[in-house]
Each structure stands twice: as C-alpha cells, then as structure tokens.
C-alpha cells in the first residue's frame, strides 16, 4: 500500500476519466491497477488538499521465482 497526501491545491476528482488522454494520468493508472487486482482511492477537497491511496497485491508466485 502506498499513501500520498498533500495540503496544497486540490483538483476535481470527477474530471479523471477515460476521455482525458494526456499523458500517463490517474485514470490510466487505475485501469492498470484493476488489471492486477489493485485499487486506487483519490480524495481531493478544496482547502484540504489531496490524498491518494494505492493498493497492489503481492503475488506469491512472483516472490518464489
């Protein structure tokens, strides 16, 4: 699990969508995490900053190779 927080500018989480094809954005990362059984949670509020929590499972077969 990776947790990143800041208390700077916020952004509208609703604007993260598949139609935003600029760069390697949060939507594309979330799709890749889903493919391997992971998750990404994003919370961003005015005056509160942004918090992103990424969980990616560790696969035992990868560890044994």
CATH number of the domain where residue 6 is located? 3.30.565.10
Digit-by-digit pLDDT tens for the chain (65 residues) are: 989 898 888 777 777 665 554 555 777 888 888 888 898 888 888 888 889 899 988 865 555 55
Q: Which domain holds residue 20?
A: 2-64
Q: Within 13 A of 17's CA, how many CA atoms are on the CB side? A: 4
DSSP 6-58: ESS----GGG-STT--SSS-HHHHHHHHHHTT-EEEEEEETTTEEEEEEE-PP
Q: What is the domain count for the chain?
A: 1
Q: In what order do the strands lie in the sheet with 49-55?
A: 2-6, 49-55, 39-45
Question: Does residue 33 contact residue 10 with C-beta atoms inside 8 Å?
Answer: no
């Amino acid at each position: 699990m990776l947790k990143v927080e800041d208390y700077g500018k916020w952004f509208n989480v609703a604007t993260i969508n598949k139609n935003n094809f600029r760069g390697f954005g949060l939507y594309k990362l979330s799709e890749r995490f889903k493919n391997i059984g992971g998750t990404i949670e994003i919370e961003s509020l005015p005056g509160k900053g942004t918090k992103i929590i990424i969980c990616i499972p560790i696969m035992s077969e990868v560890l044994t190779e």
